[in-house]
Amino acid sequence: MRWLAVALAAVCFGCAPFQGARLYQSGTEALDRGDTTVAIEQLERAAQLVPAASEVQNHLGLAYQAADRGADAELAFRRAVDLDCSNTAAAENLRVVESSSHPRAQR
């Protein structure tokens, strides 16, 4: 997890990427603890500071999903995939959310 925070910080210059990486890490830790309120707050701030980070968007989507905010989760997963089409976790999360929000037609 720390290598990802360092990688996120290295994407740009200045304080914002370092702060975004720190918020990504603490938001992910809050999500792991089940504290969705703190996770969403910190991951939303991280997403503002490092808008090109697909991993931040994916974890924000997971936090929204855990908080039963399906529409927000779908948007975050879609942004994650748009930012990095090789983010397989985000692509799978998007597929799952889309399939659950669009039930199949009855035969």
Average pLDDT in the chain = 87
pLDDT, residue 105, reads 38
SS3 content of the chain, % helix, strand, coil (to 5): 80, 0, 20
18 or 107, greater pLDDT? 18
Mean pLDDT of 65-93: 97
What integer pLDDT is reported at residue 31 of this predicted model? Answer: 97
70-83 vs 54-66: helix axis angle to the nearest 10? 170
CATH of 2-101, one of 1.25.40.10, 1.10.287.1080, 3.40.50.300, 1.10.10.10: 1.25.40.10
